[in-house]
Chain A
């Protein structure tokens, strides 16, 4: 078994693992700074993609898998918003490693890690939003990172 197969097998055994529960507040100053950096122009609304600020669950699972953030690229992201995001509100969230898959790419292996997260109102426990994040680890045959463009999970 190669090192790559070994790491894929190690990741696959972690499918279903959940992060701890994280609580966050939609801080007004953070929303404003985020909005400014993405050319957001609707001052009374929270940018929907502000949810990307709440990735501690994913980071925790990556760390548990022994993967450094610098090794991964974002391949795909999906959000479902059940209600609008409200400034000053709180949310609870956790991430789950939903799937792991691997495929040959140009000059090397691409390993895709899929994380699902759910965001809940801490008081009512009502679901506010859901996300799926697909990260890709690119490795050449000798295990080093390579410079080909991103692949896609499908």
Chain B
């Protein structure tokens, strides 16, 4: 990492607030990811399955979080591992806040550890991600 990036890292990373989740975004994601699960596309199916309505794909939430991580660290940074736990459903119209911080307590010999979260408008966590960057980079 460049000295500037290290300074930024020590100062913490700014949060990012996404626009409210739209059905069109989930349709585009479903097609691009090859995930045809109708609970993310069809209100009637989602309700039939006991959900409050269409919910965002867990991996869409994980992916926007990963985009936030990569954008915050900068191009050329190589992730070695990420673990995503899906804690709460994201419904249409909800705007996610994405956070990122270092977790030096979890550093390993191979990598630097970080934690990222996607939070719902009510402050609850939709997805928590623990990850590592390759130390050599």
Contacts and interface: CB of A to CB of B under 8 A. Distances in A.
Size band of the interface chain A makes with B = 35 or more
Interface string B81-114: 1111111110000000000000000000000000
Majority DSSP secondary structure for residues of A touching B: mixed
B75 A78 contact: no
A152 B28 CA distance: 28
A77 B87 CA distance: 12
B85 A80 contact: no
B67 A40 contact: yes
Chain B interface extent, by class: 35 or more
Interface in B34-90: 34-39, 45, 48-52, 57-60, 62-64, 66-68, 70-71, 75, 78-89
B32 interface: yes
Nearest to A43: B75
A53 B78 contact: no
Given A45-B75, A48-B82, 18 more contacts: A30-B32, A33-B28, A37-B29, A37-B32, A37-B63, A38-B29, A47-B70, A49-B63, A70-B45, A73-B58, A76-B83, A81-B78, A81-B80, A145-B49, A147-B50, A147-B52, A150-B87, A152-B87
